[in-house]
Amino acid sequence: ITFFTAWSPACSSLAPIFAKLSAEYTLDNLKFGKIDVGRYPEAAKHYHINDSTFSLQLPTISFFKEGKEVERRPSLNAQAKFQKFYFTEDNIKAAFDLNNVYAECQKILDAKKPKEDHTKSE
The predicted-structure confidence for 13-43, as pLDDT tens digits, reads as follows: 999 999 999 999 999 999 999 999 999 999 9
pTM, two decimal places? 0.86
Is the predicted pLDDT of residue 86 greater than 90, yes or no? yes
Tens digit of each residue's pLDDT (9 = 90 or more) over 88-107: 999 999 999 999 999 999 99
Nearest to 60 by CA among 120, 122, 2: 2
Contact indicator for 91, 20 with CB cutoff of 8 Å = no
Q: Where are the domains of the chain?
A: 2-112
User: According to the CATH classification, is domain 2-112 in 3.40.50.800?
Assistant: no
Please state the length of the chain: 122
Q: How confident is the model at residue 55 (pLDDT cuts 50, 70, 90)?
A: confident
Rounded Cα distance between 90 and 115, Å, is 36
Across 53-57, 79-83, 84-88, which has the greatest mean pLDDT? 84-88
Q: How far apart are CA 40 and CA 34, in angstroms?
A: 11
